[in-house]
Structure 1
Amino acid sequence: MLTVESLKKSYDDTAGRASGRRSDAGTRVFAVGGVDFEVHDGELFTLLGPSGCGKTTTLRSVAGLERPTEGRVTLGGRVLFDSKHGVNMRANQRGLGMVFQSYAIWPHMSVFKNVSFPLEVMPRAKRPGRKEIEDRVRQVLEVTELGAYAARAATKLSGGQQQRLALARALVTRPELMLLDEPLSNLDAKLRETMRFELKRLQRELNLTAIYVTHDQSEALVMSNRIAVMNQGRIEQIGKPREIYTKPATRFVAEFIGTSNFIEAKVVSVSGGEVQVDAAQGRLVAHGVEAAPAVGDTVLISIRPECVDLSRERRGDVPNEWSGTVLTRAFMGDVVDHIVGVGDLEVRNRSNPNLSIPPGTEVHFSVAPDKVTLVPVD
């Protein structure tokens, strides 16, 4: 549905040339340094990354709120932007719905008027009749569970209700594509968790196509059909949430999405999808390696803490078993984290709270070969 090709956005670098994202001439900083992706019909596609990675600039470029320096953006059969052919459709002509971080609801209007206003200000040739406007507003208010608050002042709504109001206002125009710029970041933690599932429900029920921008890894994993992880103006990896989490393509992705144990090792054997590596602390076997390295290559091993199986007793019949000493533990409610020392290496384990081993205890831990991920060395 949406295609973004070779998108770049640069700014004149008048003050901060130490940013590391200068052009060859050294006079411009690229906030977005060449981004390519597609968003499929009915998909919630998330741009995920830390502050300053270029995700919001990319979204605003799709919306028409920023003019890219280079690239091409198409939606269906329409060209929204093309730097080579001088095409730059105005934001109000693109027919996109957008929900901002601040919601931007109109405080002097009722809930009903907030939602009806985008229809009422349409050009006369496209503006629906009064009856159709009322019907469409009532429909989206019911879908967003705000029907009972139609006459209420917008400022009298709770934070979660205001977020849904901003969404209803964008939905009423029936846009081809929804753009959501960190819409949950102003909510408290508990409400934010509830609204993740609420937004996902609406997206599925209405078959919405949407681009969602966030820096919250949990939010992206819960809500997305696919995720694009961005870093310094570029996309490091695109994939389904489980794929991004279990098979990170780079060290940045492995570090940014959740928590990982990193171990540097050298490849000693490659056989089909099985790779054996030697680290300073011992040997590890990895299964299901898609892009196998060559013997002698140095690789970075990534192991998620929940994949480290901790035991007081040595089992001996399990692969990838190492011994160490518990250095510290932390009770976190639903899990307990143990830090295990193996020589000068510290390995984090995440376990059920029923397992809590005091510091100083000699332990043994193992990792299933299919949970050992090889990450290219940067």
Structure 2
Amino acid sequence: MLTVESLKKSYDDTTRRSSRRSSGQGTRVYAVGGVDFEVHAGELFTLLGPSGCGKTTTLRAVAGLERPTEGRVTLGGTVLFDSAHGINVHANRRGLGMVFQSYAIWPHLSVFKNVSFPLEVMPRAKRPGRKEIQERVEHALDVTELGAYTSRPATKLSGGQQQRLALARALVTRPELMLLDEPLSNLDAKLRETMRFELKRLQRELNLTAIYVTHDQAEALVMSSRIAVMNKGRVEQIGKPREIYTKPATRFVAEFIGTSNFMEAKVVSVSGSEVRVDTAQGRLVARGVEVAPAVGATVLISIRPECVDLSRERRGNVPNEWAGTVLTRAFMGDVVDHIVGVGDLEIHNRSNPNLSIAPGTEVHFSVAPDKVILVPLD
């Protein structure tokens, strides 16, 4: 549905004026350094990454609020931007719905008027009749569960209701594509968690196609059909949430999505999809490896804390079992985190709260071979 190709956005580096004067050349800084992705109809596609990674700039380029330096953006059969042919459709003609981080509701208007406003200011040739505006506004308010607040001033709504009002205002125009720029970041933690499921419900029920920008990993994992993890203006990996979490393509992805235990290892044998590696602390077996490295290669091992099975007793009949000592533990409510020392290495374990082992206790832990992830070294 939406295709973004070789998108770049650069700015002058104003911090290096003296060097530009001496060299006679400008320095370009790329906020987006060549991004490619495709959004399919009916999916919620998330741009995920830390502050400054280029995700919001990419979204604004799709919206027409930023003019890219290079690239091409197409929606269906319509070219919205093409640097090679000088095409740049104005933002108000792209037919996109957008929900901002700040909601941007009009405080002097009622809930109904906030939602009807985009329809009322349409060009006369495209503007719906009064009856259709009434029906579309009521439908948008009903699906966002704001039907009981039509005459209420927008400022008298709660934070969650204001967020849904901004969404209703975007929905009422029936856009081909919705753009959501961190719409939940201003909500408190409990309400944010509730609204994740509300937004996902609406997206599925209305079969919306949307691009969602966030730095919140949990938000991305809960809501997304697919995720593009961005870093320094580029896409590191695109995939479904489970794939991104269980099979990170780079160290950055493995570190940014959740937490992980890392260690370098040397490949000692490869048999089909089974790879045996040696680390400074001992041997590990990895299974289900899709692209096996060469024997003798150095790789990075990633093991998620919840995949570390901790026990006070040695079992002996399981692969990848090591001995260690609990260094510290932390009760987190729904889980208990243990840090286990193995030589100079510290292994992070995340367990059911029923398991809580005191620091100083000798323990054994194991990792299933299919949970040992081989990550290419950067």
Does TM, scored on the shorter chain, surpass 0.5?
Answer: yes
Cα distance change, pair 113–247 in 1 and its aligned pair in 2 (3 A): same
Describe the superposition over 1:324-374 as per-residue Cα deviations: whole angstroms up to 9, x where unpaired: 000000000000000000000000000001100000000000000000000
CA-to-aligned-CA distance 1:160-196 (integer Å, 9 cap, x gap): 0000000000000000000000000000000000000
- Partner residue of 2:160? 160
Residues 1:349 and 2:346 aligned together: no
Residue 22 of structure 2 aligns with which residue?
none
CA drift at 1:26: 6.0
Q: Partner residue of 1:21?
A: none
Cα RMSD of the aligned pairs, angstroms, is 0.8
Instruction: Spell out structure 1 runs of 4+ moving beyond 2 A.
Output: none
Normalising by structure 2, report the TM-score: 0.97
Could you tell me which residue of structure 2 aligns to residue 34 of structure 1?
Answer: 34
| 1:334-373 map, 5 Å | 334-373=334-373
SS at match of 2:347: strand
User: 1:216-252 deviations in whole A, cap 9, x for unaligned?
Assistant: 0000000000000000000000000000000000000
* Contact 2:324 2:342 (8 Å CA) reproduced: yes
1:134 corresponds in structure 2 to 134
Alpha-carbon distance between aligned partners in 1 of 2:126 and 2:340, rounded to the nearest angstrom:
66
What SS does the corresponding residue of 2:85 show, helix, strand or coil? coil
Match of 2:106 in 1: 106
> Which residue of 2 is the match for residue 302 of structure 1?
302
Aligned mates of 2:263, 2:60 — CA distance in 1: 39
Matches within 5 A, 1:1-378: 1-15=1-15, 27-378=27-378
State how far apart, in whole Å, the 2-side matches of 1:259 and 1:82 are: 39
Query: In 2, distance between residues paired with 1:337 and 1:200?
Result: 30
Residue 291 (structure 1) shift: 1.1
Q: Distance in 1 between matches of 2:276 and 2:84?
A: 49
Superimposed CA distance per residue, residues 247-272 of structure 1 (whole angstroms, 9 cap, x where no aligned partner): 00000000000000001100000111
Query: SS where residue 127 of structure 1 aligns?
Result: coil
CA distance in 2, matches of 1:26, 1:351: 54
> Structure 1 stretches of 5 or more lacking a match?
18-24
Give the secondary-structure state (helix, strand or coil) at the position aligned to 1:15: helix
Counterparts of 1:44 and 1:213 in 2: how far apart (Å)? 10
Match of 1:20 in 2: none
1:16 is displaced (CA, Å) by 6.3
Other-structure match for 2:20: none
How many Å separate the matches in 2 of 1:274 and 1:89? Answer: 52
What is the rounded CA distance, in whole Å, between the counterparts of 1:256 and 1:368 in structure 2?
A: 23
Distance 1:320 1:353 in 2: 24
| Alpha-carbon separation, structure 1, partners of 2:16 and 2:51 | 16
Contact 2:308–2:365 (CA under 8 A) maintained in structure 1: yes
- Give the Cα separation in 2 of the matches to 1:161 and 1:70: 39
Alpha-carbon distance between aligned partners in 1 of 2:26 and 2:369, rounded to the nearest angstrom = 46
CA distance in 2, matches of 1:177, 1:38: 13
Number of positions where the alignment pairs a residue of Structure 1 with one of Structure 2: 371
Which SS does the other structure have where 1:213 is aligned? strand
Distance, in Å, in 1 between the alignment partners of 2:143 and 2:339 is: 47
Task: Name stretches of at least 5 consecutive residues in structure 2 with no aligned partner.
Answer: 18-24
- 1:15 Cα offset (Å): 1.4
What letter corresponds to residue 371 of structure 1 in structure 2?
K
Report the AA paired with residue 170 of structure 1.
A
Q: Whole-Å Cα distance in 1 between the matches of residues 359 and 171 of structure 2?
A: 54
- The residue type equivalent to 2:247 in the other structure is K
**Cα distance between partner residues in 2 of 1:375 and 1:42:** 32
Counterpart of 1:362, as a letter, is E
Residue 2 of structure 1 and its aligned partner are, at CA, apart by 0.1
Map Cα deviations across residues 25-65 of structure 1 (whole Å, 9 max, x no partner). 66110000000000000000000000000000000000000
